[in-house]
Structures are given as C-alpha cells and as structure tokens.
C-alpha cells in the first residue's frame, strides 16, 4: 500500500523559509511533491505533520497542506481501483493535469463525499481524514462544530451546500451561535475558524471555487479572562490543612502540581513514577507530542514523593468541578470582573475567584508567577512547550500589586 506523509526535506532546509512536501514512498524509495507552501523550519511539528500555532492563518495553511495530501491520496486510491501502476511519473502527470484544470488521464476525478456539494458530509469526512494528525481534544472540537452546523441547518430547514457558505450564511450562523446558543463571541469565532479550515480544504480538493468564506471576519471579543493564583494564594492553598477532606486534598495536590510545573491536565493526569528522572519530570505531551523536561521545585517534588505509586486519576470534567469546590473550601474568594461579548452586547459580571478555577488555571499560574519571579520567557517556553512568545503571553495577567512594585522599582 502506498505511504504518504507531509514533511520538510532535510536536504532543502536552509536559512529562512522552506517548502513543505508530500513524501510518497514507492518501492521503498522516497519521492517528493511540492505543496507550494513555505514555512520557517522551526514552525514544523514533524510528529503531527502540521505547522505549529492556532491563528486563523496557520489553520488555513494546515488546511491547504492536508488538502494537498488528500489530493495525492485520492489519485493513488483511484489508480489502485482502476489497476493503474501508481508510479511517481504517473502521479506527477496527474497532478500537472489537475493544475491545468484538466481531468487526469485514466482516472476519473472523484469526490471525497457522497454528495459533492454537501458541506456537512465534507465536514464529517474532513474529521475522519485528519483525526490521525490531530490531538484528541481538537477532534472533539471539530465534532462539536459539526453538531452546531447540523442544528443550524435543521433550524433553517435547508441543505448546507458548499456554494451556500457565503456572507448570508456567515451572518445567520453568527446570530444562531450568539443568540440561540448563547455563545460568547470568542467561542463563536472558534466555530467560524473551523468552518474556514474545512472550506479551504474543499477548495484544495477542487470541490468548490467559492472563496466567500475568506472574508468571514472574527467577532469583537475580549481575551478569556486570565485567572491565576498569586504567590500568597498558592502558598495558602499548598499549606491548607485538608486532613479531614482527603478527596479535596488529592485535588489540591494535582492543582498545585499544575501551578508549579505548567503542565496541562492531559499531561499531569497521566504522570507515572517512572517519568521522574533524577530531579526532572519527563513528559511526552498529549496535545503536541513534544518532549518536556520539567525541573522539579519544592512544591512539585513534595507532591510526587507523596504518591510513590502514581498520582490520583481524575477526568478533566470532574477535576474542573472539584477544583472550584476546593477553592471555595479554602477561601479563594477574591472578586474578579469578567467581561465578554455576545454579538454586539457587552456582558459584565463579578464572580469570586473560586468560580473561575479550572485545570488551565494551573498553567496560567505557572507562566505568570514564573515571569513575576524573574524567569526569562525563553526558559518558561522550554517548560510549557509554547512555540512563540505571543501565544505564551496570552496566559499572563500581571497583578496590580506586581505592577506597583515594578513601577516603584523602575521609577522610584
């Protein structure tokens, strides 16, 4: 069976941007087909065959790359079906004909969907075609967006064709998400991003020439409120006597571990004793498949020593519920202002800090406190696995007290 993958050619990597290729293995030899897309080599996640980052531009780029890969796989599958020898020369010929707008010889151009203009069918097949290179959580997000699209189509009593993903769809879908589904603009923007990725994929497949989706503008929104624990709050939580509450004590230990290592729930929830190597915790991240070498500190070292047979196991859903209960029990009740937008409406509310705690609060705490304690951003990124400073800084919220301290220090 033919083997294909997206990769950079080691012999073509030099200074500056380099081309991403589709590697085709034919009779134990490698052949390369250009995607005509160039990136900085350090952006490439080889294990996941994608460009690092979550911006709209990066998602569009990854969609085009997957589209190019799918085009080659489709030609190979059709060749096999018609008993045509899929030589590299033959494949280049077919790709040239496709680029010229002609039908490939001997291989009738086939659609990836049972109904070539059905956007929902294509969306579902995109999920199936790309799930091997996407994190489990990302696949779940795409499935959620597909469910919203199905609900939208049912409400409007219309079929969502590729041609109908236009300005009219954009405005109606935004209204559906923000009004009927009561989503914040930030959450609605995530749904729109996924629609754009799949439409880019459809264009790359030659299934549509509809480019209206490229003009879909993100809705105005505020960044998700960056809640984190201050130094005093972290110390208070770490030393709080929970002898009478063993369940909350276990949740506290997991949460403090997250706050002092920067690990995501998917990583700290699966830590095993054999991952402790000397004074380091060695982790292969679930989301990006990167290796992290996290140096232990007095907090994380004590917690790992407390559980020689392995850390407590909690699903993310249960952890997020229990950590709020933990915060309330331990008195983390600082008022926090939360502002978000739903459509054009600005929604403002005050909540106590414990209501906003989640597993991700630990990662934010680690990044923010590490900066406050003087750790260089480049070093923090080594612990968290962030690829660029802009993404890292989204986790940061400098406390007012720290701002005052720094102003005094700088200006006197």
Q: In what order do the strands lie in the sheet with 280-284?
A: 276-277, 280-284, 291-295
DSSP state, 264?
A: -
Can you tell me the distance from the alpha carbon of 188 to that of 350, in angstroms, rounded to the nearest whole number?
22
| Helix H or strand E segment including 168 | helix 167-175
CATH of domain 111-220: 1.10.150.130
Q: What is the residue whose two structure tokens read 């059905």?
A: 118
- Secondary structure class of 119 (helix, strand, coil): helix
- Secondary structure class of 17 (helix, strand, coil): coil
How high is the pLDDT of residue 186? 87
Q: What residue spans define the domains of the chain?
A: 1-110, 111-220, 231-411
How high is the pLDDT of residue 412? 61
Mean pLDDT of 318-346: 88
Per-residue buried b or exposed e for 283-321, using 16+ beta carbons within 10 Å of the residue's own CB: bebeebeeebebebeebbeebbeeeeeebeebeeeebbe
CATH of domain 231-411: 1.10.443.10
Global confidence as pTM: 0.58
Q: What is the pLDDT of residues 56-99, one digit of tens each?
A: 888 889 989 998 898 898 888 888 877 888 888 888 888 877 77
How high is the pLDDT of residue 149? 97
Mean pLDDT of 145-157: 96
Closest CA to 226 of 54, 368, 378: 368
How high is the pLDDT of residue 1? 45
Average pLDDT value over all residues in the chain: 85
How high is the pLDDT of residue 231? 93
Q: What is the pLDDT of residues 183-213, one digit of tens each?
A: 988 899 999 999 999 998 888 777 888 999 9
Can you tell me the distance from the alpha carbon of 131 to that of 412, in angstroms, rounded to the nearest whole number?
55
Q: Is 390 exposed, middle or buried (0-12, 13-18, 19+ CB in 10 A)?
A: exposed
Query: Can you read off the two tokens belonging to residue 131?
Result: 């799930």
Report the 10 Å Cβ neighbour count for 114.
9
């Amino acid at each position: 069976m033919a083997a294909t993958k997206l990769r950079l050619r080691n012999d073509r990597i030099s200074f500056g941007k380099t081309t991403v290729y589709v590697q085709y293995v034919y009779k134990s030899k490698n052949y390369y087909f250009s995607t005509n897309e160039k990136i900085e080599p350090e952006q490439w996640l080889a294990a996941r065959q994608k460009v690092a980052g979550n911006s709209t531009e990066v998602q569009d780029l990854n969609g085009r790359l997957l589209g190019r890969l799918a085009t080659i796989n489709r030609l190979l599958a059709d060749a096999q079906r018609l008993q045509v020898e899929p030589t590299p020369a033959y494949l280049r010929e077919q790709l040239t004909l496709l680029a010229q707008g002609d039908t490939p010889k001997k291989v009738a151009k086939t659609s990836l969907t049972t109904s070539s203009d059905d956007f929902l069918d294509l969306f579902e097949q995109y999920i199936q075609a790309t799930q091997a290179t996407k994190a489990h959580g990302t696949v779940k997000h795409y499935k959620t967006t597909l469910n919203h699209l199905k609900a939208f189509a049912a409400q409007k009593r219309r079929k969502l064709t590729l041609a109908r993903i236009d300005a009219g769809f954009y405005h109606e879908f935004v209204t559906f998400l923000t009004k009927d589904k009561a989503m914040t603009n930030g959450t609605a923007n995530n749904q729109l991003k996924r629609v754009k990725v799949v439409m880019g994929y459809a264009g790359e497949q030659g299934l549509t020439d509809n480019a209206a989706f490229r003009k879909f503008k993100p809705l105005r929104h505020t960044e998700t409120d960056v809640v984190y624990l201050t130094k005093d709050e972290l110390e208070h939580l770490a030393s709080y006597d929970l002898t009478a509450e063993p369940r909350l004590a276990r949740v506290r230990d997991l949460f403090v571990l997250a706050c002092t290592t920067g690990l995501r729930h998917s990583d700290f929830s699966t830590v095993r004793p054999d991952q402790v190597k000397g004074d380091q915790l060695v982790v292969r991240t679930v989301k990006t498949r990167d290796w992290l070498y996290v140096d232990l500190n007095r907090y994380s070292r004590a917690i790992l020593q407390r559980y020689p047979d392995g850390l407590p196991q909690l699903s993310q859903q249960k952890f997020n519920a229990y950590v709020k209960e933990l915060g309330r029990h331990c008195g983390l009740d600082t008022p926090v202002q939360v502002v978000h937008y739903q459509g054009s409406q600005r929604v403002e509310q005050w909540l106590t800090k414990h209501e906003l705690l989640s597993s991700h609060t630990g990662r934010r705490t680690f990044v923010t406190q590490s900066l406050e304690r003087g750790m260089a951003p480049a070093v923090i990124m080594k612990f968290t696995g962030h690829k660029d400073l802009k993404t890292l800084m989204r986790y940061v919220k400098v406390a007012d007290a720290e701002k005052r301290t720094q102003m005094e220090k700088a200006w006197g």
